[in-house]
Amino acid sequence: MRATAFVCLLAQGLLASACLTEEELRGFRHNLPILHRRQRAQTNKTNDGTIPRGLGDRFKNGTVAPRGIGSQTGANFTSFYSMDQIQSATLGLVNEFNLTYFELPLKTFENRTMYGLKMPGKAGPTVLLQAGIHARERGGPDHLINFVADLLWAQREGTGLVYGGMSYTAQDVLTALSHGLVVLPLVNPDGVAFDHATNGCWRKNRNPASARPNDTDATTGVDLNRNFASVWDFRKEMAPISDDILSVSDDPESEVFHGTAPLSEPEARNIDWVMDQMPDLRWMADLHSHATQILYAWGHDTNQVRDPSMNLLNRSYDGKRGAVPDDLAKGYVYAEYIEQQRLDRITILSSRVADGMLGAAGRSYTAQISVGLYPTTGVVTDHVMYRSLVDSSKKTADAITIEFGQYNRDALCSFYPTVPMHNFNMMDVGAGLMEFLLEAARLG
């Protein structure tokens, strides 16, 4: 536990960039409202060397199926998928491979319908794959859809897959597909639509319920990846550690605004609903950019394996969580309980995913505990684990956050990749998700 905390602090200094820009990290560490000023500017500039948005409908309303970078040689993706293309690509897979398409029950604030696809396996579905929760993290939906497409094409043709330096056999493809998968390619459609329309580096959803009337542009939106139920009420459950350190906020102006209640947002409730539809849910991976990291539980504090009663449901630890390292003087002494065997599985799984992503295009990925980046609450991957803690009728499930790709320092929005970066990211994600599914199959 001590050792883990120490490593995390080291990592924090070097790598604290996942999902937030350097200026945002400085911003929330020093309460400087920086990014929203740029978002408000909305220059719509597109000629900053980043990959352009795809035009037209390359999947012809679902009559053409996509194919990724792992099941064909020499592919070069020179645009990213538009909103329409994400949907038509999904429909293309459904039609070509006879998958199940489903819609989620709640509409978003802007009345969009969320959707997913379901693939049969030997059991389950036991695996949930998700992308697009942070709108500006461009490429997530593309990489997820194209990875699934690769698996299906390879299965049909009886071949393996190649992601840069990583090769997989036809048998690996069958093993990866054996789980039964549910895929949610775009879980923040309003945010992504807005980001595409404005190139404004938009992260959150578009719910204006908490916006201040005199400043709606800067105060619209909830960070969906702070809106889930696990330790949502950070003011009560976490130690009163400085807002400079916490990556969550109750200020609607913040990029990490957590909403008005656990699962207050329809997008978050929809995702929770999907999990409810998966009684055999065992593994989940959520795609983000751009830290070249694999993050595993927990987000709110370090892990410990000795004291099962020290856990996030025990109210006697409210106000003590989140200090890394513990602050003995103030009594902030806490680490989240996790069974040793489970911790071993999730760390080995995360390392394997990181190694696969390194092997794809040669960019270094590291696996680490989520709190090592910054203490955070209400994230979807912790929610996956939390669900079986509050309801023992649910099977335990484990989840990782995959932070693909690197900063694009030359872009107005560092989350927008160049064409070469987008293609490398697609290889990385392909290899990472392959390793994830293969290791999950090995672990059972």
**Contact footprint for ligand NAG (CB under 6 A):** 42-44, 61-62, 76, 78, 98, 109-111, 197-198, 212, 214-215, 309, 314, 316, 419
239/399 with CB nearer ligand NAG: 239
Q: What is the dihedral of CA 257, 262, 124, 403, to 10 degrees?
A: 20
* By CB under 5 A, residue 19 contacts Zn ion: yes
Please classify residue 297 by burial: count the beta carbons closer than 10 Å to its beta carbon, then call 0-12 exposed, 13-18 middle and 19+ buried.
Answer: buried
Q: What is the dihedral of CA 151, 152, 158, 161, to 10 degrees?
A: -20
Q: How far is the CB of 78 from ligand NAG (least distance, A)?
A: 5
198 contacts which partner out of Zn ion, ligand NAG, none, CB within 5 to 8 A by kind?
ligand NAG
Q: How far is the CB of 309 from ligand NAG (least distance, A)?
A: 3
76/393 with CB nearer ligand NAG: 76
What is the SS3 assignment for 277?
coil
Q: Which residues of 337-353 are buried (b: 16+ CB within 10 A; e: fewer)?
A: bbeeeebebbbebbbbb
* By CB under 5 A, residue 345 contacts Zn ion: no
Cα–Cα distance between 144 and 152 in angstroms, integer? 13
How distant, in Å, are the alpha carbons of 101, 134, 347, 381, 423 from that of 340? 38, 32, 11, 19, 38
216 contacts which partner out of Zn ion, ligand NAG, none, CB within 5 to 8 A by kind?
none
* By CB under 5 A, residue 134 contacts Zn ion: yes
61 contacts which partner out of ligand NAG, Zn ion, none, CB within 5 to 8 A by kind?
ligand NAG
Task: Spell out the residues 6+ positions from residue 442 whose beta carbon is closer than 8 angstroms to its own.
Answer: none
Q: How far is the CB of 133 from ligand NAG (least distance, A)?
A: 20
What are the tokens at 389? 């803690």
9/49 with CB nearer ligand NAG: 49
Residue whose C-alpha is closest to residue 174's, from 100, 102, 120, 117: 120
Q: How far is the CB of 57 from ligand NAG (least distance, A)?
A: 8
341 contacts which partner out of Zn ion, ligand NAG, none, CB within 5 to 8 A by kind?
none
Cα–Cα distance between 314 and 8 in angstroms, integer? 25
- Ranges of beta strands (E only) in 290-415 are 293-296, 303-304, 336-337, 366-369, 398-404
Site string for Zn ion, 276-295 (x = CB under 5 A): ------------x-------
134 contacts which partner out of Zn ion, ligand NAG, none, CB within 5 to 8 A by kind?
Zn ion
Q: How far is the CB of 310 from Zn ion (least distance, A)?
A: 29
106/419 with CB nearer ligand NAG: 419
β-bridge pairing 113-119 and 100-107: antiparallel
* By CB under 5 A, residue 226 contacts Zn ion: no
72/98 with CB nearer ligand NAG: 98
314 contacts which partner out of Zn ion, ligand NAG, none, CB within 5 to 8 A by kind?
ligand NAG
Q: Which residue is nearest to ligand NAG (CB)?
A: 309
- Ranges of beta strands (E only) in 263-344 are 283-289, 293-296, 303-304, 336-337
78 contacts which partner out of ligand NAG, Zn ion, none, CB within 5 to 8 A by kind?
ligand NAG
Q: How far is the CB of 7 from ligand NAG (least distance, A)?
A: 27
What are the tokens at 396? 């335990």
Q: How far is the CB of 436 from ligand NAG (least distance, A)?
A: 25
177/184 with CB nearer Zn ion: 184
Compute the Cα dihedral for 279, 394, 144, 203 and give only its sign: positive
What is the SS3 assignment for 105?
strand
What are the tokens at 238? 């976490």
288 contacts which partner out of ligand NAG, Zn ion, none, CB within 5 to 8 A by kind?
Zn ion
112/352 with CB nearer ligand NAG: 112
Task: Write out the residues near Zn ion by the rule CB under 5 A.
Answer: 19, 134, 137, 288
